[in-house]
Amino acid sequence: MEKTDKVTIPRILKMKKEGKKIAALTAYDATMAAIEDEAGMDIILVGDSAGMVIAGDADTISISLDEMVYMTKWVRKGVKRALLVGDMPFGSYQASSEQAVESAIRFMKEARAEAVKLEGGRAHTGTIEKMTAYGIPVMGHLGLTPQSVNLFGGYPLRGKSRDEADRIFEDAQLLEQAGVFAIVLEKITVELAQKISETLSIPTIGIASGPYCDGQILVAHDMLGLGPKFKFARRYLQGANVLRDAFEQYIQDIRSSDFPTEKESFHA
């Protein structure tokens, strides 16, 4: 695919048919989004992981719909080619289908997201059917769904037991039937992710779910080495070290009067 071709949902579906892996990453501001877009990212997700990596919360529970829509507006300004997906935060879609539709419309009208993502399986199929019927493209999210952190008591691997694996597998099939165009599979076993990916005709986008998914997604801060190291998140930059070195050099240059120089100053 040419780097300049706009990524659309039909294109994402075609990539699965053609066996082309889908590259996805989160973004939370226009600057980072523009760099990801220029690099050729297929999907840019404004993830509610922002609650953790941007807002500094311990989980994704607190971030609000207003905050997510606002951030998606920023990201929109940096994205030209990638498919832009807004993440529906906790409390913005669980109460009713009407609430979900209203929240999703805010992402699309105010921030010009091209799709939204929501977490969960069979409990949401009625809502997803309505959303897609109204022209709202929906991405599913199964396995370790971080908004259920209080139910799970943390962030465990999911689908290890036969019963849990069967339930996640059925949920994936139900989400496809309800109309989602793709499903994020988070922290499930490699075997289960492979089975789901081989069974569904829509793409699976894995995170911590092994190599057999149709695409992969990471939180940008994790792959850039800006936060703690996770086994599943390959680091492409030691970002925290690079930034700390730059900050230290800047401080040193100010203290030593090395910055600014004549070349970096203006005269009348």
Binding mask 220-259 for ligand KIV (x = CB under 6 A): ----------------------------------------
Binding piece for ligand KIV, criterion CB under 6 A, among 43-51, 73-81, 100-108, 160-168: 43-51
Which letter does DSSP use for residue 48 in this model? T
Please tell me which residue in 186, 198, 248, 262 is annotated as part of the active site: 186
CA–CA separation, 209 and 191 (whole Å): 9
CB 205 to ligand KIV: min, Å: 7
DSSP structure string for 62-118: S--HHHHHHHHHHHHHH-SSSEEEEEPPTTSSSS-HHHHHHHHHHHHHHH--SEEE-
Which residues, 6 or more positions from 21, have their beta carbon under 8 angstroms from its beta carbon?
15, 214, 215, 216
Beta partners for 142? 185
CB 189 to ligand KIV: min, Å: 17
In the chain, count of helices (H) and strands (E)? 11, 8
Is residue 215 a contact partner of residue 11, using CB atoms and an 8 Å limit?
A: no
CB 64 to ligand KIV: min, Å: 14
Q: Does 49 bind ligand KIV (CB under 6 A)?
A: yes
Exposed, middle or buried, 61 (CB in 10 Å: 0-12/13-18/19+)?
middle
Binding piece for ligand KIV, criterion CB under 6 A, among 46-54, 78-86, 161-169, 235-243: 46-54
Whose structure tokens read 């709202």? Answer: 136
Dihedral in degrees, nearest 10, Cα atoms 139, 213, 207, 144: 70
CB 44 to ligand KIV: min, Å: 11
CB 21 to ligand KIV: min, Å: 16
Is residue 134 a contact partner of residue 110, using CB atoms and an 8 Å limit?
A: no
Among 26, 103, 125, 189, binds ligand KIV (CB under 6 A): 26
With CB atoms as reference, the residue minimizing the distance to ligand KIV is 47
Query: Is 264 a known active-site residue?
Result: no
DSSP structure string for 133-186: HTT--EEEEEES-GGGHHHHTS---BS-SHHHHHHHHHHHHHHHHHT-SEEEEE
Q: Which of residues 168-187 bind ligand KIV (CB under 6 A)?
A: 184
CB atoms within 10 A of CB 126: 13
Minimum CB distance to ligand KIV smaller for 49 or for 125:
49
CB 146 to ligand KIV: min, Å: 7
Minimum CB distance to ligand KIV smaller for 16 or for 98:
16
Binding mask 87-126 for ligand KIV (x = CB under 6 A): x---------------------------------------
Interacting residues with ligand KIV (CB under 6 A): 26, 45, 47-49, 87, 184, 207, 217, 219
Residues taking part in catalysis? 186
